[in-house]
Amino acid sequence: MRYLPLAFDVKDCPCLIVGGGSVATRKARLLIKAEARLLVVAPEISDELQRLATASGGEIFREQYREELLGPAQLVIAATADADINRAVSADARARRLPVNVVDAPELCTFTFPAIVERGPLSIGISSGGAAPVLARQIRAQLEALLAPGIASLAELAARMRDRVKASLPEASRKDFWQWVFSGPVADKVVAGNVVDGENELLEALQKWQGSPAPGGEVYLVGGGPGDPDLLTFRALRLMQQADVVLYDRLVSPAVLDLVRRDAERIYVGKKKEFHSVAQDGINQLLVDLALQGKKVLRLKGGDPFIFGRGGEEIDKLAGAGIPFQVVPGITAASGCASYAGIPLTHRDHAQSVRFITGHLKEGELDLPWSELASPGQTLVFYMGLTGLQTICSQLVEHGLAADTPAALVEKGTTSEQRVVVGDLRTLPQLAETEAVEAPALTIIGGVVSLHEKLRWYHPQ
């Protein structure tokens, strides 16, 4: 790291801008936001830049740059099209030990302007030290998308309440209180625009914190999607960064798990065929126990927690124990894997409906309404159907579906290891064995599978 990221307080400070064009104007806009006083020198100065300098209480010098103009300056920016003038400004400022920025010339700078994400009093700077400004701007765009506009109101609320919290709580409790504010219902209300309700909740909580321990824990039931971390929702990412402890299963990809808060405790509770590291009843109770310890618990599931994810069972237990919880839906495997395989689940030329079915064997049997499933004009998606694939295909044919009905297996869909094996009801079981398809794998059956070769767009490396 060559450049040390710092935040300058330039309120009412005289800042000299050498240059009068569009680049100088852009820098002036930033300085005005920080309430600086602008000194502008250039033979020609844009109308907007003149207005900004005047509004700041600064001065305008319609002349060529000369060293004497550095006298009152506390910060200097060179933004001219003349390389010789820019070099002279840099040398003169350095000689006076003034911080100087020369636009598009990092070798002449003692500081650079970062790409800035601004939300009220909260500001984030992303800097490459002038090495890759376009990359810094792209990262800024990603952060802009992640940070809700309402977070500015949350920062402003914290500023208003800071002294009150300081007077009400001992130092040892303050950090935990603010962490609760920024990661709980207060933040949810304020970011959503309910500032008054959020402030009232903060004040009620402050009274409780003064005379009792911190409020109890909470559980976040979050869908982690089918594997590609880019498919996570913004809310999922936010809660993943707030959790004290995470319970995750084997369908959560390593790339998604890497986005959980680094210091969070991780507990694996995955299930495989004939092997459960923790029984479901044990998982349900563990969620309750951890929340009662005052922890923020992330229950991270592959896909969507309410589609064959037993999420309903888990929150039923939480509701019975009086534990607060939130549910964040995720992209379910059927949608994600089919999209990445180029198989539209409801193309109107092939299917008028789609059905999601569990292919999980219960006591070695698949008890399903085969006659209904064998109806034409629909797409069938089987979750956890790899073990029972032979039974699925043979039963569908036996109950009237054509043996040449297209069928596919999508293994590890949406990840860099994705494979798509295409056949029909007659050939797919043998293909699964020949190609050594492994779980997690999704089975898709119906005419839409015939579109795979034409519409496939995702080519994992």
Tens of pLDDT, residues 169-219 = 988 788 888 988 987 789 989 988 999 999 999 999 998 888 765 566 899
3 state SS of 314: helix
Radius of gyration of the chain (CA): 30
Determine the average pLDDT of the residues in 73-87: 96
Q: Which pLDDT belongs to residue 133? A: 82
Q: What does each C-alpha distance from 17 to 32, 41, 65, 130, 362 come to in angstroms?
A: 12, 6, 10, 19, 75
**Distance between CA atoms of 271 and 278, rounded to whole angstroms?**
8
Which position has the token pair 């539209």? Answer: 344
Q: Which pLDDT belongs to residue 278? A: 79
- 171-183 and 195-211 helices, crossing angle to 10°: 150
Q: Is 249 a catalytic residue?
A: yes
* Structure confidence by residue, pLDDT tens digits, 314-358: 999 999 999 999 999 999 999 999 999 999 999 999 999 999 999
Our CA angle for 332, 338, 341, nearest 5°, is 135
Amino acid at 224: G
Q: b/e per residue, 417-439, with b = 16+ CB within 10 A?
A: ebbbbbbbbebbbebbeeeebee
**Distance between CA atoms of 366 and 360, rounded to whole angstroms?**
7
The percentage of residues in the chain with a pLDDT greater than 90, rounded to a whole number, is 72
Q: Which pLDDT belongs to residue 350? A: 94
Beta strands 419-424 and 406-411, pairing class = antiparallel
Average pLDDT, the chain: 91
Q: Is the predicted pLDDT of residue 361 greater than 80, yes or no? A: no
Q: Which pLDDT belongs to residue 305? A: 95
Q: Mean pLDDT lowest for which of 8-17, 190-199, 212-221, 396-405?
A: 212-221
Q: 175 versus 419: which is more confidently predicted?
A: 419
Q: Which pLDDT belongs to residue 145? A: 78
Q: Which pLDDT belongs to residue 176? A: 80
**Distance between CA atoms of 312 and 293, rounded to whole angstroms?**
22
Catalytic residue among 82, 197, 271, 289: 271
Are the beta carbons of 370 and 409 closer than 8 angstroms?
no
Q: Is 47 a catalytic residue?
A: no
Strands (E), 170-302: 218-223, 245-248, 265-268, 271-272, 275-276, 296-301
Q: Which pLDDT belongs to residue 84? A: 96
Polymer length of the chain: 461
Q: Is the predicted pLDDT of residue 102 greater than 60, yes or no? A: yes
Q: Is the predicted pLDDT of residue 276 greater than 60, yes or no? A: no
Q: Mean pLDDT lowest for which of 80-89, 201-210, 437-446, 448-457?
A: 201-210
Determine the average pLDDT of the residues in 109-131: 85
Catalytic residue among 188, 244, 249, 424: 249
Bond prior to 440 in cis (omega within 30° of 0): yes
- Residue 274 pLDDT grade (very low, low, confident, very high; cuts 50, 70, 90): low
This prediction has a pTM of 0.66
Q: Which pLDDT belongs to residue 213? A: 57
Q: 4 versus 65: which is more confidently predicted?
A: 65
**Distance between CA atoms of 374 and 384, rounded to whole angstroms?**
19
Q: Is the predicted pLDDT of residue 121 greater than 80, yes or no? A: yes
- Residue 453 pLDDT grade (very low, low, confident, very high; cuts 50, 70, 90): very high
Which residues are part of a known binding site for NAD(+)?
22-23, 43-44
Are the beta carbons of 386 and 437 closer than 8 angstroms?
yes
Q: Which pLDDT belongs to residue 175? A: 81
**Residue 124: closest CA among 100, 106, 142:** 142
Q: Which pLDDT belongs to residue 212? A: 67
- Residue 117 pLDDT grade (very low, low, confident, very high; cuts 50, 70, 90): confident
Strands (E), 271-418: 271-272, 275-276, 296-301, 325-328, 353-358, 378-383, 406-411
**Residue 115: closest CA among 129, 125, 123:** 125
Q: Which pLDDT belongs to residue 364? A: 62
DSSP 8-state secondary structure symbol assigned to residue 274: T
As separate numbers, helices (DSSP H) first and strands (DSSP E) second, the chain gives 17, 19
**Distance between CA atoms of 445 and 368, rounded to whole angstroms?**
15
Which residues are part of a known binding site?
22-23, 43-44, 226, 302-304, 307, 332-333, 384, 413
Which residues are part of a known binding site for S-adenosyl-L-methionine?
226, 302-304, 307, 332-333, 384, 413
Amino acid at 444: I
Q: Which pLDDT belongs to residue 149? A: 81
Residues 6+ apart with CB under 8 A from 129: 2, 3, 106, 112
The percentage of residues in the chain with a pLDDT greater than 70, rounded to a whole number, is 97
